[in-house]
Every structure is written in C-alpha cells, then in structure tokens.
Homo-oligomer: A and B are copies of this chain.
C-alpha cells in the first residue's frame, strides 16, 4: 500500500488502455458499460487514487483556492471573530465544489512575497483576500500577475476588483436611529480605524443620522480592540459628561466601553445606552447583554467563495446587516 498504483497498473489489470481508465475516472461519457464496470472494479481493488501533481501538471488547474489573511494572525484568530465566520463560509462552498482550501497568513512583507510566489507557482486557482486594511497592495499585485482575486470588504482604493462587503453604513444608521427612537439626545460614537473600510463606513453612517436629525457628532477613535474602547469611552465622558448614548463600532470596543462606564458609575442603559457592532458570541453574555448590529459573516465567506469559483462578475456583493436589540439600550 506504500507504493501507490498508477493509471498504467489499473489499465493493465482491467485489460484496457490508460486513456480509457482516465475517461472512466473522470466520468467522461462514451465508455462501454461493461468496460466501465471492469475499470471501476480494478480501481477499487487496487485502491487507485489519481496522482494530483500529474493531473495538475497537464490540466493547469490545482482545484484549490487560497484564503489569505493579510493581517497579523493574532488578530485573525482571537480578536476578530468575523474571520471565523468567513473561514467557515468559504470552507463550506469550497468543499461543496470539491476543491480545497489553503490558508495563508500574510501579515508581514515576507508574507506578501510568500503568497505571491505560492500563488504564481500554480498552486491555487484563485485567491480570496480577507484584509481589513483597505489600502492593502496585495490584491492588485496578485491580480496583475493574472491570478483571480476576490476581496472581503470594499477596497479603499477602489481598484475595480470584485469584492463582498457588509452594509456597514446601513448597520450604523439602524443603530443610531434606534438610539434616537429610544429618546437619546446626546449620542457619541467610538469609531474604528480610519484606514479600514468598516471603520470608515460605520462612522459615516453615524454622521449621516446625526446630521439628518440636526445633532452634533461626538467622536472618539479606537482600533477595534477592547482596550482602545475602554480608553475612548473615558475620553468621551470627559468631552461630554452629559452624553446619554454611545454607538461603538465594534463589540470588542463596546466591552471596553461597558467596563469604563461601570467604573465611572454610569448605569447601562439607564444613564448611557450602548450599541455595539458585529454581534460576536459573547455580546449576548455581557452585563447587560449588548444591543448590536449583526453581520452575516458565514454568508460573506460563502459569497466570497462563490464569486471566485463561478467567476461570476456580478461583483460588488453587499450583504445586509441587522440590528439586534438586547438590554443595553
């Protein structure tokens, strides 16, 4: 069993030619029924599995696609649960298409180079880039080399590549609108980094609602981490001690904000209402449970894969976001 049988062996055993075995194995039509059965039996008896490299060499296909994280891995796997959904979604679609998923981290310059070399070597048929930093040069760089690329999140630079994005603006609008409906008057925000599309769009949504309702913006900046949220909340309380609501651009930051509010003796939602963004698992278990904006991460992964696999250029796909009301508002 150590030495794997080749097409040749199977052909010999079935008493046919290599070509015929190949046809059977690849499910080609026009093979006589009894020959087909004989070949199948030989395949079975020998435990034949086509050699991937040989096939790939001639077909020029690799039947696998790469999912590249252009971020430090620590962020991908612990801080940002969005990625988990994406991986699952991509994985689902890719497996349904009987292809394989190669996971790559390209957090560094060396990483970028590795990804380029690897993909150019014909290892994969296409690449999904899950990058949050909109100005990432990697997608274009791969595209120029002729490799099919799909991006998660609208590229800030608007490079014309196909992408799938969440409707971040709408999510923010829903969240802030909800705060308004609850009768809140001084609504602040903790925004995400201005070099990430999610940060930008969520802030824009917030601004839009406040502007439309004739209120002024109260803004602090974070970087999507919990600590930055705690810090930003402290600053916000200093800037405007009378604020009665805050729209936080990520749940992790909202957790930090919740903590700061608790330390400051503000009750949530009585004194200050809090809305997060992402609807990560633990948002349901905070004290109080967090009102937040849910985004279809699983579906995002699936759409990304679908876009890549079908080469269907009905690109930008923008997925809806949905407000989940809990007890923090």
Contact = CB atoms under 8 A, between A and B. Distances in A.
B104 A103 contact: no
A73 B297 CA distance: 14
A121 B77 contact: no
B105 A103 contact: no
A122 B52 contact: yes
A53 to B, nearest CB: 4
A171 to B, nearest CB: 20
25 contacts: A1-B145, A49-B117, A49-B120, A52-B56, A52-B62, A56-B56, A73-B92, A74-B88, A76-B88, A77-B85, A77-B87, A77-B88, A78-B81, A78-B84, A78-B281, A84-B84, A87-B103, A91-B103, A100-B123, A101-B102, A101-B104, A102-B103, A255-B285, A282-B282, A282-B285
Interface in A106-159: 111, 114, 117-118, 120-123, 144-146
B91 A100 contact: no
A271 interface: no
Contact of A50 (B84, B88, B121, B255): B121
Contact of A51 (B54, B57, B105): B57
Question: Contact size class for A?
Answer: 35 or more
Interface in A274-289: 281-282, 285-287
A302 to B, nearest CB: 12
Contacts of A95: 105, 111, 114
Nearest to A76: B88
Contacts of A91: 73, 103, 105
A76 B101 CA distance: 16
A4 B51 contact: no
Most buried by B among A53, A74, A95, A255: A53
Contacts of A78: 81, 84, 281
Contacts of A287: 287
A64 interface: yes
Nearest to A52: B121
Contacts of A117: 49
Given A95-B105, A102-B100, A84 B88 contact: no
